[in-house]
Amino acid sequence: DSAVLIPFSQIIDKIDSLPKDKKLIAYCSHGVDSFFLMNILLADYGFSDIYSLKSGLEGWYKFIKERAVS
């Protein structure tokens, strides 16, 4: 499917629009907010297939950039 931008400050207001029957990957700049969000959704909102992008978009960009240079 596709990515959907939901600012962290709006996530609780839009929680009902997120599908609980699909794999979700939360991401942010450094992975801290998305990890926090993942734990809230797992513990308090009944999501079971949600992940946080470790090191966030900054880490992903660095990973891709290092591979492209090699």
The answer, yes or no, to whether residue 50 has pLDDT greater than 70, is: yes
Confirm whether 54 is domain-assigned: yes
Q: State which amino acid sits at residue 51.
A: Y
Residue 7: inside a domain, yes or no?
no
Task: Answer yes or no: is pLDDT of 1 > 80.
Answer: no
* Token pair recorded at residue 11: 């996530």
> What is the pTM (predicted TM-score) of this model?
0.78
Range of the domain at 52: 23-69
Whole-number pLDDT of residue 61: 95
Instruction: Give yes or no for residue 69 having a pLDDT over 80.
Output: no
How far is the C-alpha of 16 from the C-alpha of 30, rounded, in Å?
25
Domain total of the chain: 1
Residue 5 scores a pLDDT above 80: yes
Residue 40 lies in a domain: yes
Q: Does residue 8 lie within any of the structural domains?
A: no
Q: Is residue 5 part of a domain?
A: no
